């Protein structure tokens, strides 16, 4: 995609994450082009790409609208995710880590530890941490040796809004907390303590969901307050 197309996609993503384009709102191609200062072509391409990602819904003869995600949606999904991720950790502890999995987790924890010592959270740290974090949890899911469970976890994680807002309210303190929880989980896996591994992973997932729920709830409150002010 062209630089202009990327600019448009970034603008719309930020607008959705900040609720400037709340769920259910229609995105008009002409209005967006004028607002961003580009032609309609990159706007059209960006809208199509964002619909393919699942952030927008497309209706023939009506156009694009922002997909609606509520606090209740997030809470329901994380209720499921908490159980699935906890079960994966329990099974991994029951199975025991293979030498390769243990070495992989040790390396990933060392990499995250180096990021924690930077004592900052910015684009550079985030871009380094996200693939490490993903590999850490993928390794544990693989150690569970249950492809059906892995598929269910993948489906529960494939929520477009989550990828957009999950790290929006993260910071250096939360990065350190995440590392501490990962270290505890790794210890439970090494010691082959299934129930402890389940509790640590379930709590780790729950806290992630709770942060998203709290912050998205505030965002929804701001939307409602803005609508109320606009009707006075």
Tell me the CATH number at 180. Answer: 1.20.120.530
- Residue 20: give the domain boundaries: 3-66
pLDDT band (50, 70, 90) for residue 192: very high
Note whether residue 229 is domain-resident: no
For 128-182, write each residue's pLDDT tens digit: 999 999 999 999 999 999 999 999 998 888 877 777 788 888 999 999 999 999 9
For residues 53 and 75, membership in a common domain is answered with no
Cα distance between residue 183 and residue 110, in whole Å: 10
Tokens 């994680």 belong to which residue?
Answer: 157
For residues 42 and 77, membership in a common domain is answered with no
CB-neighbour burial class of residue 149 (10 A; exposed 0-12, middle 13-18, buried 19+): middle
CB-neighbour burial class of residue 117 (10 A; exposed 0-12, middle 13-18, buried 19+): exposed
For 18-55, write each residue's pLDDT tens digit: 878 888 889 989 999 998 889 999 999 999 999 988 88
Q: Would you say residue 109 has pLDDT above 80?
A: yes
Instruction: Tell me if 136 sits within 8 A of 111, measured CB to CB.
Output: no
């Amino acid at each position: 995609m062209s630089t202009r197309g990327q600019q448009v996609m970034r603008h719309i993503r930020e607008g959705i994450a900040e609720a400037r384009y709340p769920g259910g709102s229609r995105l008009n191609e002409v209005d967006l082009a004028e607002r961003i200062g580009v032609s309609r072509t990159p706007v059209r391409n960006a809208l199509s790409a964002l619909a393919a990602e699942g952030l927008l819904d497309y209706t023939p003869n009506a156009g694009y609208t922002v997909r609606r995600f509520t606090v209740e949606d997030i809470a329901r999904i994380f209720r499921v995710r908490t159980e699935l991720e906890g079960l994966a950790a329990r099974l991994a502890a029951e199975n025991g880590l293979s030498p390769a999995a243990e070495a992989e987790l040790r390396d990933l924890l060392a990499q995250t530890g180096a990021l924690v010592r930077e004592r900052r959270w910015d684009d550079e740290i985030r871009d380094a941490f996200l693939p490490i974090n993903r590999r850490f949890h993928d390794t544990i899911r693989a150690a569970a040796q249950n492809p059906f469970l892995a598929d269910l976890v993948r489906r529960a994680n494939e929520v477009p809004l989550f990828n957009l807002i999950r790290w929006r309210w993260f910071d250096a303190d939360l990065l350190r907390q995440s590392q501490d929880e990962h270290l505890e989980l790794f210890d439970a896996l090494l010691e082959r303590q299934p129930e402890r591994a389940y509790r640590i992973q379930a709590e780790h997932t729950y806290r992630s969901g709770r942060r998203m729920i709290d912050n998205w709830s505030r965002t929804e409150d701001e939307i409602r307050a803005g609508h109320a002010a606009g009707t006075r």
